[in-house]
Amino acid sequence: MDVVRLTENWAEPPGPVSHVVISSRVRLARNLERIVFPPHADSKDLRQVCEAVDRLIRSEAALKEFARIDIGACRAVERMFLRENHIISPELEQGGEFRVLHFDPKRSCAIMVNEEDHLRMYCLRSGLQLTAAWEEIHAVDTVVGRSLCYACSDKYGFLTACPTNVGTGMRASVMLHLPGLVMTRQMDEIIKTIPHHGLAVRGYYGENSEFLGDFYQISNEVTLGKTDVEILEGLQKFIERLVSREEAARASLLDKRHWQVEDVIWRAYGVLTHARIMSSKEAFQLLSPIRLGIERGYFPTLTHHRLNRFIVAMQPGHLQIAEGSEMPPVERGLARARFLRSVFSELKTAN
């Protein structure tokens, strides 16, 4: 399948601070001048945007590595597969005419066409790499902005379909794994303070998703009245402090209640290697302590990066593509357990 083949090298090798930070992502929302924004656009408008971007990509040497996927022509399971890889957003997963993804796996950059805005351009990096991600997508934005006229206001900056994006149009986000802060019961307090920093916190699946497996996505909430660089610096500092607190929490747990940490890790491993049916929610919750186990040296052949791939691969779209057929939930639960049992039973373990 094209979608699978084209995107299989999407995931980068692990980046800095990967024991706590899964990934960093910077996305820019842009719209074209004089064309109705997608939420109110008709077919003609959407086609116009789509064709303008296609022409641009063909003509710009800097964008020649971008591959094109017509999202509207994908099967539901393929769109699911792309969303589970964080390549497209839940909004674009809905599909529809003139919804297109242009992406460059080598740079982990992509342009989603006719999502909530005409263009949603982003760069996704492993570990804590906000600046690198921003530089990469900023370079793409510069090239695109030279050819296409962005809807812009002198007073507000870039105009967007939703007012929460007006200004820089930038949303920078970091996916974190914070089991130490959860186990030491500090996380509820931290979540309460996040809005005071102009930031927002979400679950693994983004907006409106629940907190699962100690994964938290933190992003800037403010897009107006600050520059991209100021916003990135604020987020970076906040994340660095959070990483230090997470490290301190893990150290204190290992110092005072090491058996509790060991218990959680080994129980998760015991269930992953033996369960016969499993929901993706439970799998999330079990894969979380396994990340801690990597750090403790319990799984000498497992890397954070490979574990991240398991988290993606056990999701419904990936499972169905791997099995080559659409499956009802019970069948998926059986296939998920079979997959996890097989990968974890093969792992070397050390005590």
Residues that bind its own copies (CB under 8 A): 259-260, 262-263, 266-267, 269-277, 334, 337
Residue 316 or 333 having the CB closest to its own copies: 333
Residue 204 or 269 having the CB closest to its own copies: 269
Helices 130-147, 43-59: axis angle to 10 degrees equals 100
The helix/strand/coil state of 274 is coil
Residue 28 or 253 having the CB closest to its own copies: 253
CB of 303 to its own copies, least distance (A): 22
CB of 343 to its own copies, least distance (A): 15
CB of 225 to its own copies, least distance (A): 51
Residue 196 or 259 having the CB closest to its own copies: 259
The span from the CA of 216 to the CA of 73, in Å, is 32
CA distances from 146 to 28, 65, 139, 344 (A): 15, 18, 11, 50
Residue 40 or 276 having the CB closest to its own copies: 276
Sign of CA dihedral 79, 80, 85, 89: positive
The span from the CA of 197 to the CA of 331, in Å, is 44
Q: Which of 324, 306, 337 is nearest to 81 (CA)?
A: 324
Residue 42 or 259 having the CB closest to its own copies: 259
What is the C-alpha radius of gyration for the chain, rounded to an integer number of angstroms? 21
CB of 182 to its own copies, least distance (A): 18
The span from the CA of 232 to the CA of 26, in Å, is 9
Residues 6 or more apart whose Cβ sits within 8 Å of residue 60? 143, 147
CB of 70 to its own copies, least distance (A): 39
Ramachandran angles phi, psi of 168, nearest 5°: -75, -25
CB of 272 to its own copies, least distance (A): 8
Residue 48 or 349 having the CB closest to its own copies: 349
CB of 278 to its own copies, least distance (A): 8
Helices (H), 257-328: 258-272, 280-295, 304-313, 316-323
